[in-house]
């Protein structure tokens, strides 16, 4: 399979091209606190990541193909350039195919590439477990009076926000302007089921007098479209860094999401977005009448309304609630699945699973949002906070409310308020345990991860689209992986099992016996 699905029509004769498979991933910057330390988050993050990777096979990241300043619109304003890469900070590739590193002042875990939303939930949860093990590893090297605490959240309560970014494989031929225009309605409104919730506001541009928001990130967005990720954040990010064959693919870099602990929320965040992007890619999205007239103010307005009753003005002049926009997007996705199928979503079962959950959650939000406390983060947290405030007679601006908010995101098993709620699990715990060290079988991450597990000493560096081997002779050998859907277990499991050494692997790949990639 080369990333482009093909299917005969009802007559069984004509073959039509449909959207490329929505290979996806999540990058999470975790909040960090060094109790008893010097307060330097870069130092603390480096200590945390180093403590973990020093105990396992470690391979460094290859920065050769990094180009964060490339803009999908074909230009880059000086004021909107992406930040420079900090190559001196710890940056490792794990045997599960993931990247674990220090991004500025935060530990960041980037999942391996996954083929479906359900698979991505597993590897996102594996990331949480890796951070827990990192805290344990750090405790072994820190003085008894010190500890490092990690939070899966998106802001520090002092006006600083850090990201949880998603990535989706798309066809390079699709005009970026069409993507940016048509995805806007979804990005503004999907927070009603994937927002993480937050006490109060942190920026001057947020609506005044808001006690609770359904999204942690919404108030930090200032532009509709742009390249930045840390300042003047845009709802649609234009970073053009495909990590794949740039002639065939683009990677839509999505920065508008919250960090979710609830597995259903993560599943829907990714699954619904993949559906919307597939519709856009196949030019089957329909009319642009759902786009808000002012997306920046609309995303803040939606976040500030836990009742879900407020309406936003759309570009055509009518008004609609976020919930009604999501119902319309679901209806369009259903029609798309009926006429085009769900190949791009990982198959009929995967696609229909997203549609069913999408419908059930929207129905719950419409009839009784509290019924979704086991599935949606902002609902779960809101109930926790309301109960705490009632029990102690607190106002929403009491600092103890913010402390409870933060403790919801604490990853320590004994301290996490989320961990006490018994929310619905989609990922099998055994599958999550395996995903800590083993890669997904469905993407090129399998080839990357298995090579690192077997021959870490021979891999000098790695990144998303290549591995570099040192075979003891000049020159170093780079193995390209330019198609995310090659290098899967189906492609290379037998090859890897029958190669006794990395030299044999490279020789057989060079001889064309089997190609794990499209390179």
SS3 490: helix
How many residues are recorded in the chain?
519
Mean residue pLDDT of the chain comes to 91
Alpha helices in 54-116 (DSSP H): none
How many angstroms separate the CA atoms of 148 and 131, rounded?
Answer: 11
Q: What are 187-201's pLDDT values in tens digits? A: 999 999 999 999 999
What pLDDT, on the 0 to 100 scale, is given for residue 75? 64
Q: Please report how the helices 399-408 and 377-392 are oriented relative to each other, as an axis angle in degrees rounded to 10.
A: 140
Tens of pLDDT along 457-490? 999 999 999 999 999 998 999 999 999 999 999 9
Give the Cα separation of 25 and 17 in Å (integer).
24
Mean of the pLDDT values across residues 247-265?
A: 97
* Preceding omega of 475 cis (within 30 degrees of 0): yes
Q: pLDDT value at position 68?
A: 65
Percentage of the residues of the chain whose pLDDT score is greater than 70: 91
Which tokens belong to 503? 């030299």
CA angle 260, 263, 269 (to 5 degrees): 60
pLDDT-wise least confident of 57-61, 107-111, 246-250, 266-270: 57-61
pLDDT of residue 11: 39
* pLDDT number for residue 231: 79
Of the candidates 308, 326, 315, 416, the residue with the CA atom closest to the CA atom of residue 368: 308
- The one-character DSSP state at 218 is G
Q: Please compute the mean of the pLDDT values over residues 339-365 and round it to a whole number.
A: 97
pTM: 0.93
Structure-model confidence comparison of residues 82 and 377, the more confident one: 377
519, pLDDT greater than 60 = no
Q: Which residues pair with 477 in a beta bridge?
A: 469
Q: Could you tell me the pLDDT band of residue 442, with boundaries at 50, 70 and 90?
A: very high
pLDDT at 516 over 70: no
Average pLDDT over residues 373-386: 98
DSSP state of 103: E
Backbone angles phi, psi at 52, to 5 degrees: -80, -50
Sequence-separated (6 or more) residues with CB below 8 Å from residue 351: 275, 337, 341, 342, 345
Catalytic residues: 103
Q: Among 18-32, 48-62, 308-322, 357-371, name the one with the lowest average pLDDT.
A: 48-62
What is the percentage of the chain residues whose pLDDT exceeds 90?
83
Residue 355 has pLDDT above 90, yes or no: yes
Higher pLDDT, 16 or 356: 356
Instruction: Determine the 3-state secondary structure of 420 from DSSP.
Output: helix
Please state the rounded mean pLDDT for residues 249-274. 98
Q: Higher-confidence residue: 498 or 88?
A: 498
Read off the pLDDT of residues 66-80 as tens digits, 9 standing for 90 and up. 566 687 777 654 444
> In whole angstroms, what is the distance from residue 229 CA to residue 162 CA?
9
Rounded to whole angstroms, the Cα distance separating 22 from 283 reads 15
Over residues 236-247, mean pLDDT: 94
Lowest mean pLDDT: which of 12-26, 383-397, 502-516? Answer: 12-26
The per-residue pLDDT for 228 is 82
Question: What is the rounded average pLDDT of the residues 262-286?
Answer: 97
Residues 6+ apart with CB under 8 A from 331: none
Quote the pLDDT of residue 219. Answer: 96
Sign of the CA dihedral running 77, 78, 81, 87: positive
More confident residue, 68 or 339: 339
Which tens digit of pLDDT belongs to each residue from 281-317? 999 999 999 999 999 999 999 999 999 999 999 998 9
Inter-CA distances, 353 with 34, 73, 219, Å: 41, 34, 31
What per-residue confidence (pLDDT) applies to 4? 47
Mean pLDDT of all residues in 329-343 = 97
Give the pLDDT band of residue 436 (cuts 50, 70, 90). very high
Residue-level pLDDT at 62: 72
Residue 286's pLDDT is what?
93
Q: What is the mean pLDDT of residues 209-217?
A: 96
Phi-psi region of 433 (alpha: psi -120 to 50; beta: other; left: phi over 0): alpha
Q: 3-state SS of 247-304?
A: CCEEEEEEEEECCCCCHHHHHHHHHHHHHHHHHHHCCCCCCCCCCECCHHHHHHHHHC
Residue 257 Cα distances to 70, 188, 196, angstroms: 22, 10, 9
The rounded distance, in Å, linking the Cα atoms of 124 and 268 is: 13
- CA angle in degrees (0–180, nearest 5) for 94-90-142: 100
**Predicted pLDDT at 78:** 47
Extract the tokens encoding 121. Answer: 């939930």
- Residue 207: count other Cβ atoms within 10 Å of its Cβ: 15
Sign of the four-CA dihedral 354, 358, 360, 364: positive
Tell me the mean pLDDT in the region 316-331: 97
């Amino acid at each position: 399979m080369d990333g482009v699905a093909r299917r005969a029509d009802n007559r069984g004769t004509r073959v039509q091209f449909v959207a490329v498979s929505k290979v996806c991933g999540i990058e999470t910057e975790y909040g960090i606190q060094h109790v008893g330390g010097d307060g330097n988050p870069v130092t603390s993050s480096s200590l945390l990541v180093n403590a973990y990777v020093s105990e396992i096979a470690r391979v460094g990241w290859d920065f050769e193909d990094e180009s964060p300043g490339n803009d999908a619109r074909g230009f880059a304003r000086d004021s909107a350039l992406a930040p420079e890469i900090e190559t001196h900070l710890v940056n490792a590739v794990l045997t599960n195919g993931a990247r674990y590193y220090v991004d500025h002042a935060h530990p960041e875990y980037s999942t391996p590439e996954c083929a479906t939303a359900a698979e991505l939930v597993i590897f996102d949860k594996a990331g949480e477990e890796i951070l827990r093990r990192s805290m344990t590893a750090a405790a072994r090297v820190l003085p008894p009076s010190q500890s490092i605490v990690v939070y899966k959240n998106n802001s520090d309560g002092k006006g600083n926000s850090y990201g949880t970014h998603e990535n989706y494989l798309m066809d390079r031929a699709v005009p970026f302007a069409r993507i940016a225009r048509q995805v806007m309605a979804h990005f503004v409104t999907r927070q009603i089921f994937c927002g993480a919730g937050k006490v109060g506001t942190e920026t001057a541009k947020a609506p005044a007098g808001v006690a609770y928001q359904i999204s942690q990130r919404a108030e930090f967005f200032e532009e509709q479209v742009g390249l930045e990720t840390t300042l003047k954040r845009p709802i649609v990010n234009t970073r053009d860094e495909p990590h794949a064959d740039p002639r065939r693919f683009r990677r839509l870099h999505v920065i508008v999401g919250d960090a979710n602990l609830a597995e259903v929320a993560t599943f829907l965040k990714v699954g619904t977005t993949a559906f919307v992007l597939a519709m856009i890619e196949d030019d089957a999205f329909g009319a642009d009448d759902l786009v808000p007239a002012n997306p920046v103010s609309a995303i803040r307005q939606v976040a500030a309304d836990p009742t879900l009753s407020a309406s936003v003005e759309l570009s055509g002049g009518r008004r609609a609630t976020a919930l009604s926009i999501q119902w319309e997007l679901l209806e369009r996705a259903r029609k798309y699945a009926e006429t085009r199928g769900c190949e791009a979503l990982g198959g009929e079962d995967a696609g229909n699973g997203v549609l069913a959950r999408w419908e059930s959650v929207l129905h719950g939000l419409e009839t009784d949002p509290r019924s979704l406390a086991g599935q949606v983060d902002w609902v779960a947290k809101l109930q926790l906070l309301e109960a705490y405030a009632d029990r102690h007679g607190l106002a929403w601006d009491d600092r103890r409310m913010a402390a409870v908010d933060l403790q919801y995101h604490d990853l320590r098993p004994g301290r996490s308020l989320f961990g006490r709620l018994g929310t619905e699990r989609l990922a099998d715990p055994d599958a999550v345990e395996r995903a800590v060290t083993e890669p997904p079988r469905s993407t090129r991450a399998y080839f990357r991860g298995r090579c690192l597990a077997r021959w870490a000493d021979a891999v000098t560096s790695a990144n998303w689209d290549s591995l570099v081997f040192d075979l003891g002779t000049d020159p170093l050998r780079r193995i390209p992986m330019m198609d995310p859907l090659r290098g899967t277990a189906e492609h290379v499991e037998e090859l890897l099992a029958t190669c006794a050494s990395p030299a044999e692997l490279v020789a057989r790949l060079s001889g064309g016996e089997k190609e794990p990639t499209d390179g």
